[in-house]
Chains A and B, each alone.
Chain A
Amino acid sequence: EAQVTQNPRYLITVTGKKLTVTCSQNMNHEYMSWYRQDPGLGLRQIYYSMNVEVTDKGDVPEGYKVSRKEKRNFPLILESPSPNQTSLYFCASRVLGTGNLNYGYTFGSGTRLTVV
């Protein structure tokens, strides 16, 4: 089954304790992205990657890092989490460059992160 898998689904951590949220896709997609969803703000892009070893900042990159060493994996790293990073996080992937709008993005099921 074609899918984007995120882990963990739920995470409660303390301020300053480094954490990694994993994301893996099995569709051989070039493009991967991380979004966070907050009430009243919708989904905002954190980082994206056009292919292996190619990453760039989205709209809200502060406090986050990413890496893309393999095509299928795109982990999100919080080096020193703070309470304002409490949010619902989504990883998404898509084929790069297609003109077919209907491909859209495939999203993971989300990671609910709470930083206390």
Chain B
Amino acid sequence: DQQVKQNSPSLSVQEGRISILNCDYTNSMFDYFLWYKKYPAEGPTFLISISSIKDKNEDGRFTVFLNKSAKHLSLHIVPSQPGDSAVYFCAAQRTSYGKLTFGQGTILTVHP
């Protein structure tokens, strides 16, 4: 039972354009959501997070949007850069210190 789903296995965008990565979840008990970025041969690294009391959180070029009624969140990267090419994982928690449940990941490729 995949409680966190990233339905797009891959995404390809041009440098300078917007990248939008999507994530859906089924468990209404999730209250905290995180995005991780993973380069080949490295472990995932924390990128940005949002709690359910907010609908938007911004950090530089990265913005996460949360639509709790639709159980959907998205990560926007503007402008996209070739160095952003990586696998992006969406993750969710029931509490701010609870277990992370991950999505399948989306491979982002940003072309120069």
State A82–B22 Cα separation when bound (angstroms). Answer: 34
Are A102 and B102 interface neighbours, CB within 8 A?
Answer: no
What are the 8 closest A-B residue pairs judged by CB atoms, nearest first? A107-B43, A104-B46, A101-B49, A42-B102, A43-B102, A42-B104, A99-B96, A107-B44
How far, in Å, is B36 (CB) from chain A's closest CB?
8
Question: Total number of A-B contacts with CB less than 8 angstroms?
Answer: 60
- Most chain A CB within a 10 A radius of its CB, from B34, B44, B49, B104: B44
Residue of A nearest to B34 (CB): A104
Residue of B9, B41, B44, B100 near A45 (CB, 8 A) is: B100
How far, in Å, is A88 (CB) from chain B's closest CB?
10
Are B43 and A100 interface neighbours, CB within 8 A?
Answer: no
B25 adjacent to chain A (CB < 8 Å): no
